Amino acid sequence: MNRLPDTGRSYWMQTADLPSFPPLSGAVEADVAIVGGGIVGLSTAWELARAGRSVVVLEADRVAGGVTGHTTGKVTALHTAVYDTIREKHGDDAARRYATSQSAALRHVIEVSGELGTDCELESRPAFTYCRDPEGVDALRAEAEAARAAGLSASFVTASGLPFPVAGAVRVEDQAQFHPLKYLRGLVEDVAARGGRIHEGTRVTQLDDGDPCVLSTESGATVSAGHVVVATHHPLFDNALLATRLTQHRDLVIAGPLPAGQDPGGMYISQEEGKRSVRTSPLPDGRRLLIVTGEAFTPGTGEDIEAGYARLLAWTEHHFPGFSIAHRWAAQDNSSTDTLPLIGRLPTNGDHVYVATGFAGWGMTGGVLAATVIASLVRGDEDPWDGLYDPGRVGSALRSAPTYLKAQWEVGKHFVQDRLETLGDGINGPAASLRPGDGTVVRAAGRPCAVHRDDEGELHAVSAVCTHMGCLVAFNNAERTWECPCHGSRFGIDGEVLQGPALRPLERRDPGEPDEPDHRPA
């Protein structure tokens, strides 16, 4: 088996050459302030700058360096097996509007890249949702019928370009794939040319949703704006408790050059085997880069992530002989409990704050779609999809009550059970036995403490209590991060926020050897 490379920046981030932007300083004003510089934020900025609005984009780290920078770059309206579910939960009309809106987003990507002359390696490919187990065939037949009834060019097939037999698949023609960051580079350059301001290294910590809205940042700089767009994957400033309607998952990704003649000629995904997603991308030397995604897991549950990478690599090497891994990374996504994304005005935050989240791993079409919806609302136009994605919707949420209650049960279970296990029997054993590169959560001075031993043997200790809503974090041994199982916040080994919804870092603790678990109940 090939040796796993170090985790780090994705292939997209290594090859996009995005411009850099200074942090925000002082107090500025704009028509629209956008929090988050991923595909939602940058696409929204472009739509509004093109319409003559002054925009300011505030990104905590690097533009497109978060969820967008770790995608697989599929631009498709076939989202695994979603149409039969939407039809059942929301009705036939909702399924048609979903298909029409996602297809419109796909066409918009093609039109925008053409208008800007962006070389983003855009390629037309069929998309497949497949199964290898014959027991899954009936569900895929139903999905093919539902997708076709919704307006997609969908069919049920039993043949594919994959190097192994499939029991069945839904095939949709004329979908697309691209280099997501090269596409966003075109938007960034055009936004800047139109006078839009983009600021990196600028973490927003507070929103006053008055008139105007005022955003405050970690450095003390502020932005006053008539409208605010919260484009942070998991929504910040969540007075409407949208977090209770979202579930989190991460997927592992490996990529490397593919031997000639093995390109499967499409985009493939299956929920079997812990999820398997396969596509290729052009390389400068004429070869194809194979990108395989899978081993989905909930962040913060303490799973052995390195073992997941090993399983994914073994699967890929078995099915694509001669594959050589060159990159690995992980992607985080969230899904709404009623299947549809949440796009529009943020409930309870007035009429001038907007949000986009819950794309369930399909953020390329979802993000572009969200930008067009939010830009329409900011301009005072009607929602082009008649409230299908409205975050304030009630009826569909009630119909999805079992999924919602299950999600809340999982959050409550982690909040209570993790404390009992950590402060009683401990998780993974005492800190004294940590090997270099490992981490664990133990009792230290009577409090839950997250401890990591680095490669030089030095201990790093921070509070294990997530600063979002108080759940306990767990260690990700592949990325060497602390992750919250309740709402997906992620932190570095010294507590810095890597991914929200948490706004504040984990409190640092004495890095000396922590106490052993003392076996007393919390």
d(C-alpha 351, C-alpha 255), whole Å: 43
Residues 168 and 255 in one domain: yes
DSSP state of 495: -
Cβ pair 346, 288 in contact under 8 A: no
Q: What's the CATH number where 489 sits? A: 2.102.10.10
Residue 167: inside a domain: yes
Cβ pair 147, 99 in contact under 8 A: yes
What pLDDT does 395 receive? Answer: 59
Supply the DSSP string of 320-367, one letter for each residue: STT----EEEEEEEEEETTSS-EEEE-TTS-SSEEEEE-BTT-HHHHH
Burial code (b: 16+ CB inside 10 Å, e: under 16) for 227-252 equals bbbbbbbbbbbbebebbebbbbbbbb
What pLDDT does 517 receive? Answer: 41
Query: Which residues of the chain carry a pLDDT beneath 70?
Result: 1-4, 6-8, 239-240, 349, 395-431, 511-522
Cα angle value 298/294/95 (rounded, 5°): 80
- Residue closest to 511 by CA, chosen among 453, 464, 469, 455: 453
Q: Which two tokens stand for residue 132?
A: 């290898």
Residues 324 and 439 in one domain: no
Residues 455 and 329 in one domain: no
Supply the DSSP string of 436-468, one letter for each residue: TT-EEEEEETTEEEEEEE-TTS-EEEEE-B-TT
What pLDDT does 511 receive? Answer: 64
- Residue closest to 451 by CA, chosen among 503, 389, 494, 406: 494
Residues 294 and 442 in one domain: no
Residue 218: inside a domain: no
Q: Which two tokens stand for residue 388?
A: 């299908």
Q: How far, in Å, are 25, 27, 43, 165, 359 from residue 367 at the CA level?
A: 28, 29, 8, 33, 8
Residues 331 and 421 in one domain: no
The one-letter amino acid at 232: T
d(C-alpha 53, C-alpha 58), whole Å: 16
Residue 264: inside a domain: yes
Where does a domain end: 307, 335, 363? 335
Residues 162 and 310 in one domain: yes
Supply the DSSP string of 16-42, one letter for each residue: S-----PPP-SEEEEEEEEE--SHHHH
Q: How far, in Å, are 35, 160, 338, 369, 394 from residue 245 at the CA level?
A: 21, 36, 8, 20, 12
> pLDDT by residue (tens digit) across 450-496?
889 988 888 888 999 999 888 899 999 888 999 999 888 899 889 89
Domain that residue 463 falls in:
408-499
Instruction: Give percent helix, percent strand, percent coil of the chain, each to the nearest 5.
Output: 30, 30, 40
d(C-alpha 107, C-alpha 129), whole Å: 21
Q: Which two tokens stand for residue 385?
A: 């999809």
Residues 327 and 434 in one domain: no
> pLDDT by residue (tens digit) across 119-145?
999 999 999 999 999 999 999 999 999
- Residue closest to 127 by CA, chosen among 91, 82, 92: 82
Supply the DSSP string of 233-290, one letter for each residue: SSPSS-TT-GGGGEEEEEEEEEEEEE-TT---SSEEEESGGG-EEEEEEE-TTS-EEE
Residue 444: inside a domain: yes
Q: What's the CATH number where 134 sits? A: 3.30.9.10
Cα angle value 409/414/416 (rounded, 5°): 95
What pLDDT does 11 receive? Answer: 96
Residue 433: inside a domain: yes
* Structural domains of the chain, count: 2
Residues 164 and 275 in one domain: yes
Residue 369: inside a domain: no
What pLDDT does 522 receive? Answer: 30
Q: Which two tokens stand for residue 173?
A: 């023609």
What pLDDT does 413 receive? Answer: 47
Residue 162: inside a domain: yes
For the full predicted model, state whether its pTM sits above 0.95: no
Residue 417: inside a domain: yes
What pLDDT does 428 receive? Answer: 40
